[in-house]
Structure 1
């Protein structure tokens, strides 16, 4: 394993660490060898490698700390190179344009809440009150709660 591929941390808890290695997707030999190396370096951890999803799940206490200390058959990065990051940047740019156009009064959150409320009203008008309308109203309420500063909620 002379050429170390880039691994991205996609999920981490105190006892679990999930890594994605997109450059080695479907490479059964690589993931088999990576599992063997990680099992040697982290004997107390459980290693689950999946070449189809290009991921390795490391379960055990202090998985991430032990992996960083002992290394692995890849280079670790905390920033995934994915379209999710690009989408987030595009949404931030859209939000900034909305703020600029409205002189700072309306942002994307306001439009999301408005869309959820209008969708709920549409479902109520169609007679679908329980599942679709209540769910949409719930989402709108949660969006309002999540975006309301803590000090104004009291």
Structure 2
């Protein structure tokens, strides 16, 4: 049975494939690199056993890559499994609930992002007043500006 490969991302002809179950297998990744380099649709290939990934410049579609990898006996491309992290998932759900609560309570006037922004600005002002302008105040202000940039990018749909 062939190991499962996942297309981590694709931009144009640049494709990164991950094969987690072969992580650290130097001989396997050397073979993958050699065999894919001989494929006519592959313009460039670089395999990394430490990260269990293959970087390709590939002129075909994802289905072509899927067929080529199987025909070469290298890996079977499957859908990327959703990462399951119960702590992060639960935390994210709770934060979303809090955000919805704030929006409902304020009749849509503000959300959690705006509360965080105002809180960080306030905390940075307090740090400046305490004489901590170069350390904590600038860090808090930087986080507030990051939130502002996120808000603005959401507002203009980027």
User: Quick check: TM above 0.5?
Assistant: yes
Q: Which of structures 1 and 2 has the larger relative contact order (alpha carbons within 8 angstroms, sep 6+)?
A: 1
User: Residues of 2 paired with 1:133 and 1:47: CA distance?
Assistant: 43
**Partner residue of 2:147?**
140
User: Residues of 2 paired with 1:10 and 1:121: CA distance?
Assistant: 40
**Partner residue of 2:48?**
50
- Report if aligned partners of 1:117, 1:140 keep a CA contact under 8 Å in 2: no
Q: How high is the TM-score relative to the length of structure 2?
A: 0.70
Q: How high is the TM-score relative to the length of structure 1?
A: 0.71
Structure 1: tracts of 5 or more residues without a match: none
Cα deviation 1:71-126 (Å, max 9, x = unaligned): 35111124235346x677546633553367x396279x932442243123212321
Does the C-alpha gap of structure 1 residues 125 and 60 become closer, same or farther in structure 2, counting only changes over 3 Å?
same
Structure 2: tracts of 5 or more residues without a match: none
- Partner SS, residue 47 of structure 1: strand
Which is higher, the Rg of structure 1 or of structure 2?
2
Does the C-alpha gap of structure 1 residues 96 and 122 become closer, same or farther in structure 2, counting only changes over 3 Å?
closer
User: Residues of 1 paired with 2:87 and 2:38: CA distance?
Assistant: 38
